[in-house]
Amino acid sequence: MTPAKLRLAMASMGKRDTKVSELLTLYRHVSPTGELRPDGEKLISR
């Protein structure tokens, strides 16, 4: 996790129109410690 990613997540969470599913997508790609999960690795390797 970088400061920029953290700020982006915080900004998204503060918006009324942000859907929980969008935030869950983040967790599907990145672990709570900021490391890529398998789905994130697939996305980056494209």
Q: Rounded to two decimals, what is the model's pTM?
A: 0.52
Nearest to 30 by CA among 19, 20, 42: 42
Domain ranges of the chain: 3-44
The pLDDT tens digits for 2-40 are: 677 777 777 777 788 888 787 777 888 888 777 889 988
Query: Amino acid identity of 15?
Result: K
- Residue 2, pLDDT score: 66
Tally of residues, the chain = 46
